Structure 1
Amino acid sequence: MATAPRHEAYGPARTASPVLVGRESELESLTATLSEQPAVAMIEGEAGVGKSRLLRELLNRPPLRTLRIMLGRCQSLREPFLYGAVIEALGGLAHPPVPPSLARNRLNPVTGVLRALLPELSAYLPEAPEPTGDPRSERHRLFRAVRELLSGIGPALLVIEDLHWADDGSRHLLRFLMSDLPRNLSIVVTYRREDVPGGVPLGSAYRPPPGAASVLVNLRPLDRSQVRVLAAALLGRSISTRFAGKLYERTAGIPFVVEETLLALRDSAGGGRATRQLLENVEVPVLLREAMAERLTGMPLPAVRLAQAAAVLETPVDAGLLSEVAGLTERRCHEALASALGNGVLYEIDECSYGYRHSLARQAVYDTLPGYDRQRLHARALRALEHRVPKPVVRMAEHSHHAGDVALALRYGERAADLAAQVGDVSAATGLLQRLLGYPGLSPRDVDRLAVKLGQVAHAGLDQYDPVATLERLLSDPRLSTAARGEVRLFLGMLLVRQIGGLEAGRAVIETALDELGERPHLLARGVSVLAQPFYGTAPLPQVLRWRERLLELISNCKGELRLSLLANHLSSLMQTGDPDVLRELASLSPPSPMSTGEQRQLARVHCNMADACTCVGHHEQARSLLQTGLRLAIDSGAPFVVSTARATQTRLAWFLGDWNGLAERATDLLDEYHDLFPVASELSLVLGSLAIVRGDWEEAEERLSATGVASPHDAITPVVLGGFAGLARLRLAQGENALALAEIDRGLTVARSKGVWSWTGELVPVAVAVLVEGGRTDDARELTRELEKNIEGRDAPMAAAGLEMARACLAMASGDPASALAGYERAGERYRALPAPYYAALAAEQAALCRMDRGGAEAARATEELSALADEFAAMGAPRDADRCRYRLRSHGTVKPSRRGRRGYGDVLSPREQDVARLLAKGRTNREIAQALFLSPRTVEQHVARTLKKLGKQSRTDLLDD
């Protein structure tokens, strides 16, 4: 059957998602039901949950496109038009082309009663019959006329939206139609049950007639994962789990509220601290504000007062507390609560606990309160909560602040900050302390105490920039005593070293603080332990070793938590520089038993810092074990900063171990969560850049690797920077930019030589030697190899030792000694497997196979088998570009290794190879660049491009680029 004319009632939505999210089962159920006739579908759900969006998708389903669609909407009017929504829907029949059956000589004469209501159809309707004079008879005749008209127009679908606003006449008419459906008619109605008078959509109980298909769909809000998908679709880019979680909490998963909120964040959403803060403080969408104001207007005054009290209290509470804050008697409170619940303003969140559906709805009501009313209600809330046992000090701190009671705000605010710090909610603690320090009229004693607490707490947390600004301001505050100034400066420096561009300045601030901490040896020791870390910036190792010697003296005089804190830095520092005895020293460490929470946090640091050091130098199995213990201790003791560094280490370790399944997604989420912690963010960027290289995604690789600190090594984490330079050199080589690869290597080697910690060069030196040899600087490559050999002699640096074998083998091959080269690559592979580092082991095996290939005969046959197996190994690992390179080398030697990714039988669906081509086409790559990235011949690429464009329905690559 040809597609029937449709009543096009749905224009493009303002922010509608390009995909329908989380409604697949509902859509399938509705489609299956309405594909039969007669049928009734009822869709219920709260405001903004997506009823109209579901309808729009439903009406575009192929089984329904053969139906004539008639759409009517009920309006929110004080005096709605009688039968308004149904008459509006029927009026759409006049839109051309008019159904052939809509003719005077083909319609039942009773339909003539509709001429007065539907003047646009008067040319098609019979003459109106004489009035009966009986209103009930006239109404029955009208109902019959509507039914006969719908019966005569062929397969049709009548859609009535927002039935909760319908007049009684429309409800009765729809009930009449739905109780005796014409055989070629289906009806869909949508409504909000909470807004339906009496909660009965059709005015009385309804049961579908025999023989009619029926379905009731109750739309629920989206869950957290669905909110993430919706936000990504609306914004056109990936959204982190953390951001999606905050968005879900803010919107309760109601799609309309999600869309409206993202409108305000369109240019900034996607991650980072600034975006999450903006999300927390985003203004209430206008449409939501108006909807809440409309609901408040329809409620009696006591119910409005109750809603305002709930808005001030913020969290769900019992009716007794609501009535006390609102100033209502128990009886009036129950009446008001029934009204607020019935009007969909308040909800029963938990059993006998009442509040708002989501925080934006609460904010909309809160914003309607004048300032003096807000203060008055906050003061009432404070008085009411003072009688609760135990006292909710966090909430009391908020109410005293908003009530303008500075004395109580200081008392409860500091107690709340202490409590938050104890339970590990460092972000809440720092926020409270910063607010308290902003109060005018604080005494010098208060300033000292709060400033020191802020520094201590902020150092353990993730919020960096705001506390730094506060601490910097406090250093110029004359109320801050000399005794407290050194401690504040110390913590300021310890925060600065974690920020982008703040490392060098932070070290300088710490050095200044040490001069002010002479009489506070425990704090001085903490400052020295930071300066003794070798991985900060480009400070030469001898300079760092002087601080290390001083730290060792201080450790000998410390006990308990402080000693563990210093050992966390000292032991990992020894491991970073390749001390061969440090693992034994760690094994002999006996932590106190039982441990305090503080000691547990420091022991977590010991394990996590050592895990990071082991990852950097190549003790990967030890790193995995240390991380497992350290992360558990850090989470249990509430140490969020330690957790952040451990998760970054976990990600880098997964790269070395070849555990790449889902690694890019995890690293991206973590990068969003820890965007402001440069040591963490730079390490995550290194992992993401490395993964992009093995995928052949050059643009992402360059973007990620540029964020590792390579532009300013003096303000970066040295082992990460060296890995960044190694990655950039590999990237340039892959792109055929040998001169740029040399430039990256020279910059990286300058940093390595300046720093003097060669245990970190395990990734850099093998690439550097290959690039130098390729660039004709073989003498420089030999000198670099000797330099590495000399500087790791006697050091515990397994990754660098494996890299040394790779460098020697590369030089042997360049000198025309394939036998030595083969032996060297095999030794390198053994060392990499022992770490373990399977990807690097596979790279060494690939070079060994190429050495065999050049020797011919049986060795070449063995090399063919090895390269074939390596292609599969790389592919399974998630390194498609390396797999393609192995296949390319096999083809170059006359052996075909078919790709397992491009088997025949994909039909009109893109094969994995064609997906790679499409991705590179969309990035504007030329055929030559695609061939280079995928190790294909230009002719093969031409064929892949032609098939890809055809399957995607594109005329040219420009069309794909425009998408």
Structure 2
Amino acid sequence: MRTSSPVLVGRGDQLGALRTAVPNQPAVVMIEGEAGVGKSRLVRELLDTDLGPLLVLMGHCQPVGEPFPYGAVLEALRDCTDRLARNHSRLSPVSGALGALLPELAEYLPAPLPSTGDPRADRHRLFRALRELLGVLGPVLLIVEDLHWADDGSRQLLRFLMGDPPANLSIVVTYRREDVPGGVPLGSAYRPPTGITSALLELEPLDVAEVRALTSAILDGEAVSAEFAAKLHERTAGIPFVVEETLRALRNPAGAVHADGATARRLLDNVDVPVLLRDAIAERLAALPAAATRLVEAAAVLGAPASAELLGEVAEISESRAALTHALTGHVLHEVDARRYGFRHALAQQAVYDTLSGPDRQDLHRRAAEVLDRVEPRPLVQLAEHSERAGRTSAWLRYGEAAADRAVENGDAGTATALLQRLLLDPAVPVADVDRLAIKLGKVAHQGLDQLDPTEALERLLSDRRLSTAARGQVRHYRGVLLIRQAGGIEEARSELERAVADLTEVPDLAARGEAVLGLSYLGVTPMSEVQPWLDRVSRARAAETDPEQRMALYANEVGSKMHTGDPSVLAEWGFRPASTSGELRQLARAHCNLADAMTTTGHFGRCADLLRDGLRFAAECGAPFTASTAHATRARLDWLTGDWDGLADRASSLLDEYRDLFPLASELCLVLGSLAMARGEWAEATSYLTETGAFAPEESIIPVAVAGCAALARTMLAQDEITRACVDVDRGLAIVRTKGVWVWATELGPVAVATFLAAGRETDAETLIEQIAAGIEGRDAPMAFAALAWCRGLLTEARGQFDTAMSFFREAADRYSALPAPYPAALVAEREAACLLPSDQEKAAEILSALVDTFDGLGATRDAARCRHQLRSIGGGKPSRRGRRGYGDELSPREQEVARLLVAGHTNRKIADVLFLSPRTVEQHAARVLRKLGVSSRAELQAEDLA
């Protein structure tokens, strides 16, 4: 693993200002920032720039006990021998004052003048000598690092030089303001004189996005989850050095960066404090009075920002304000916000915490619990934490469960599940409490987004002797529900749920909910003939149910399952009274979101959008984050289908980062991202995403998504004339559909399957497939399936040369798709109509193709727009890029933007030519203009800037 980033992250503006200021002599630039924030890295980036004739002289101030007068500047001047040898004749006698201080340069210096007898006059002569020496060296860049450690003489010298610099001099200094004596870097106020270039660059810590980019760069472009980046930022406060050291301390950083929130927190909380940071904290602690040290230790145990009074009570010291002042001026504690104090970042807090002995820690935690118990409202999570660490089991159980209950009330399922898991892991928790906590964990966990850890906790409980037989079936049920949401968990989930249903004879409501999950039509490859009996049992149970929440819970599963298959009874029965409790509202939210998800399969897009809006509102009102997450993923899928692609790739990528560990959601988002990449002609990216849709593991997938993934993979292969591979993808998808027995799910697969079979000379297979689809969707409520069927029939009749018949099918399909609306397939069908018109009416075909260029361009379907332009050129027509043929100056034209995007993705000229239907020579010309306009010298630099 790298120890630092190969590219500069988050400092582009400051580097630009530095590069602009330094050559514009005379210049003074002051770079300010706390330890580890990246001041030296910024200077190194400057030095990697072509500085032309500038002679770089660099000195470092050192934290030594005995000051070396003017040390940093004198150190820097030792590197000017060669330049001085050519210019020393221009020196006046005053420069002889430097001979004793710079013996390396003595042979080029005049003899020293006799002392004036006045130390101040001699010092002034010395300062003049140094300025004169710098003045004869030609263009010079003087860099002084760590000015906060400078002796008084060096500060005065730099103040003199910066107040009246030679015309050929640029000065750059770096410092930490918090470590500067008196907070004034040059010893007295400095205001740049008129006539010189000046800049003050204040480096702030990185934000979460920049920490994520930095982490990815250090790990050679490894993808980093949003959750890991957020936890890393929280732990390091965004200080680049601390980020780098924390990554170095992780055992497997490349694997850890994909972690979800809970896993990321666990991994990062267990990272040892970097040695350099530990030593720096220890040095600052050693300089504090005893009372201040005790106050800092209390802050480390509390872990959260606190008032001076609270810190003093926990530390049990009377002069808390005086102690706090020492801790603040010693830069151990910081004012986090108004009247609350804590550590700069979590690692600093851990470094102090680690200095405490076991008994001291326990005593401070006990004291913290006693003090916090008097605070209103009581901070239950903190009270639980301190009680646990103080070894007070009964208080830990009382506060921990109360905190979990409060978190559930506030809609924070993640905090609740984390607390309940920790309680259940404690062997000291009495047997009588285990059942209640275990069942509560299962109930809460399936409402939240953190699935993996609760699932493992429930699995451990199944072998825990403390768990009663009566509770075991409930734990098994909740574990089965959670397994469905994880990659590779569906088959095990079905098995677990079937066992749970058998064990839950004394809990019939929960047994019925287990049956409702087993009746979901779209889970895995279990044939509908085996799923239907479960679904029938759910329908009977719902009809007999009197409890509104239970009835709605069963209906929420039933309605989604039925709509996914195109059951025409669903919309006829839809409707219910408003929810009167939070539980009913949660189930109402599920019903809306489940039905909306199913409608993306069947094609009720207008109703789908309305259901999502209401479902998200209900989920927000009752605190159901998992239900809301399903709606967000469905929204992304709906946006793809309805052509709302503007910004969709970014939205879907952000959602994928957030929901990566929720397989049903992640697979659907990968389908969206893969489909978008396919439309742009980015085959490798498309394939990478589409393989994550479940297409290659249908037994563990959400079947409509997996089948659509097979369809998109086949379309990707077909576009590259990989007919055999396209056939493999098509046959795999059709095998899944035939196993399940739900032909509505062939909506996206059917047209590409027919096109692939015809390209492979398998006309009989194409004809048979069309017959099967027609029979399978008859009587179903699935508008998109009938549009796809017309498309399939058009492709077959086109292949047989029956162009008039084919066009009528294509127009029917286009009309059906437009009514949904689904503009992308509508446009693809219209393209086939144009192809049928070419032999008889080229003018009409050209008119359609010209309109399609605009349609595909408007969607962002780069590959399809380029293909239509190519077809227009082949028949003697032509259509310019999106905004016509105007001059773009230094801006990128639309075509150049497309080339730039493909260059950043690492494609060769030949690959770009294939995607955009251009010649390699034309692409080469576009690429050259892109590099010139963007001010980069190579493709590698372009890719590096995109990463940064």
TM-score by length of 1: 0.91
Structure 2 partner of 1:472: 459
Matched letter for residue 18 of structure 1:
V
User: Which of 556, 562, 571 is the aligned partner of 1:583?
Assistant: 571
Deviation at 1:78, TM superposition (A): 2.1
Q: Does 1:536 align with 2:518?
A: no
Which string of whole-angstrom CA distances, capped at 9 and with x for unpartnered residues, describes residues 24-76 of structure 1?
1x4555555555544433332222222223333445667x6443332221111
d(CA) in 1 for partners of 2:907, 2:48: 36
Alignment of 1:700-739 (within 5 A): 700-739=685-724
Structure 2 partner of 1:197: 181
Deviation at 1:891, TM superposition (A): 2.7
d(CA) in 2 for partners of 1:382, 1:219: 39
Which string of whole-angstrom CA distances, capped at 9 and with x for unpartnered residues, describes residues 83-126 of structure 1?
211211222222x344632x2x4322222222121111111111
Structure 2 partner of 1:206: 190
d(CA) in 2 for partners of 1:636, 1:949: 51
Note if contact 2:372-2:379 (Cα within 8 Å) is conserved in structure 1. yes
Note if contact 2:3-2:248 (Cα within 8 Å) is conserved in structure 1. no
Matched letter for residue 233 of structure 2:
Y
d(CA) in 2 for partners of 1:944, 1:350: 53
d(CA) in 2 for partners of 1:301, 1:956: 59
Structure 1 range deviating more: 176-185 or 615-624: 176-185
User: Which of 523, 547, 551 is the aligned partner of 1:559?
Assistant: 547
Question: 3-state DSSP class of the match of 1:535?
Answer: coil
Structure 2 partner of 1:380: 367
Alignment of 1:299-314 (within 5 A): 299-314=288-303
Note if contact 1:517-1:524 (Cα within 8 Å) is conserved in structure 2. yes
Cα distance, 1:29–1:709 mapped onto 2, change above 3 Å: closer
Matched letter for residue 110 of structure 2:
P
Q: Does 1:760 align with 2:753?
A: no
d(CA) in 2 for partners of 1:664, 1:280: 33
Matched letter for residue 139 of structure 1:
R
Note if contact 1:901-1:913 (Cα within 8 Å) is conserved in structure 2. no
d(CA) in 2 for partners of 1:217, 1:876: 42
Cα distance, 1:66–1:947 mapped onto 2, change above 3 Å: closer
Which string of whole-angstrom CA distances, capped at 9 and with x for unpartnered residues, describes residues 842-865 of structure 1?
0111111111112x2xx3211101
Structure 2 partner of 1:503: 490
d(CA) in 2 for partners of 1:196, 1:130: 36
Structure 2 partner of 1:316: 305
d(CA) in 1 for partners of 2:821, 2:657: 29
Cα distance, 1:73–1:636 mapped onto 2, change above 3 Å: farther
Structure 2 stretches lacking a partner, 5+ long: none
d(CA) in 2 for partners of 1:737, 1:211: 67
Matched letter for residue 861 of structure 1:
E
Structure 1 partner of 2:156: 172
Cα distance, 1:232–1:478 mapped onto 2, change above 3 Å: closer
Structure 1 range deviating more: 682-691 or 818-827: 682-691
Deviation at 1:956, TM superposition (A): 12
User: Which of 879, 886, 889 is the aligned partner of 2:871?
Assistant: 889
Deviation at 1:937, TM superposition (A): 5.1
Cα distance, 1:245–1:402 mapped onto 2, change above 3 Å: same
Deviation at 1:955, TM superposition (A): 12
Cα distance, 1:358–1:99 mapped onto 2, change above 3 Å: farther
d(CA) in 1 for partners of 2:276, 2:889: 47
Alignment of 1:287-686 (within 5 A): 287-329=276-318, 331=319, 333-556=320-543, 557-586=545-574, 588-592=575-579, 595-686=580-671
d(CA) in 2 for partners of 1:231, 1:585: 52
Note if contact 2:882-2:894 (Cα within 8 Å) is conserved in structure 1. no
Structure 1 range deviating more: 900-909 or 449-458: 900-909
User: Which of 39, 64, 67 is the aligned partner of 1:80?
Assistant: 67
Structure 1 partner of 2:90: 106
d(CA) in 2 for partners of 1:829, 1:877: 16
Structure 2 partner of 1:775: 760
Cα distance, 1:336–1:745 mapped onto 2, change above 3 Å: same
Question: 3-state DSSP class of the match of 2:80?
Answer: helix
Structure 1 partner of 2:242: 257
d(CA) in 1 for partners of 2:908, 2:17: 46
Q: Does 1:934 align with 2:919?
A: no
Note if contact 2:602-2:783 (Cα within 8 Å) is conserved in structure 1. yes
Which string of whole-angstrom CA distances, capped at 9 and with x for unpartnered residues, describes residues 121-148 of structure 1?
1111112233455544443332332233
Structure 2 partner of 1:54: 42
Note if contact 2:31-2:201 (Cα within 8 Å) is conserved in structure 1. yes
Question: 3-state DSSP class of the match of 2:879?
Answer: coil
Structure 1 range deviating more: 257-266 or 643-652: 257-266
Matched letter for residue 680 of structure 2:
R
Q: Does 1:808 align with 2:793?
A: yes
Note if contact 2:818-2:826 (Cα within 8 Å) is conserved in structure 1. yes
Question: 3-state DSSP class of the match of 1:348?
Answer: strand
Note if contact 1:23-1:54 (Cα within 8 Å) is conserved in structure 2. no
User: Which of 850, 872, 877 is the aligned partner of 2:854?
Assistant: 872
d(CA) in 2 for partners of 1:838, 1:280: 49
Structure 1 range deviating more: 810-819 or 948-957: 948-957
Structure 2 partner of 1:18: 7
Structure 2 partner of 1:151: 135
TM-score by length of 2: 0.93
Cα distance, 1:936–1:110 mapped onto 2, change above 3 Å: closer
Cα distance, 1:280–1:640 mapped onto 2, change above 3 Å: farther
Structure 1 range deviating more: 343-352 or 821-830: 343-352
Question: 3-state DSSP class of the match of 2:348?
Answer: helix
Deviation at 1:949, TM superposition (A): 9.6
Alignment of 1:179-258 (within 5 A): 179-209=163-193, 211-237=195-221, 239-258=224-243
Structure 1 range deviating more: 266-275 or 396-405: 266-275
Note if contact 1:902-1:911 (Cα within 8 Å) is conserved in structure 2. no
Deviation at 1:197, TM superposition (A): 1.3
Which string of whole-angstrom CA distances, capped at 9 and with x for unpartnered residues, describes residues 577-615 of structure 1?
2122312322x21123xx322222111111111110111
Cα distance, 1:183–1:948 mapped onto 2, change above 3 Å: closer
Structure 2 partner of 1:119: 103
Matched letter for residue 519 of structure 1:
E
d(CA) in 2 for partners of 1:665, 1:954: 25
Structure 1 range deviating more: 315-324 or 263-272: 263-272
Deviation at 1:907, TM superposition (A): 8.3
Cα distance, 1:280–1:620 mapped onto 2, change above 3 Å: farther
Cα distance, 1:687–1:171 mapped onto 2, change above 3 Å: same
d(CA) in 1 for partners of 2:724, 2:161: 79
Deviation at 1:633, TM superposition (A): 1.7
d(CA) in 2 for partners of 1:763, 1:880: 20
Question: 3-state DSSP class of the match of 1:460?
Answer: coil
Structure 1 stretches lacking a partner, 5+ long: 1-12
d(CA) in 1 for partners of 2:337, 2:85: 53
Question: 3-state DSSP class of the match of 2:142?
Answer: strand
Note if contact 1:430-1:467 (Cα within 8 Å) is conserved in structure 2. yes
d(CA) in 1 for partners of 2:501, 2:937: 69
d(CA) in 1 for partners of 2:740, 2:25: 79
Which string of whole-angstrom CA distances, capped at 9 and with x for unpartnered residues, describes residues 478-500 of structure 1?
22111111101111111111111
Matched letter for residue 874 of structure 1:
F
Cα distance, 1:954–1:112 mapped onto 2, change above 3 Å: closer
Alignment root-mean-square deviation, CA: 3.0
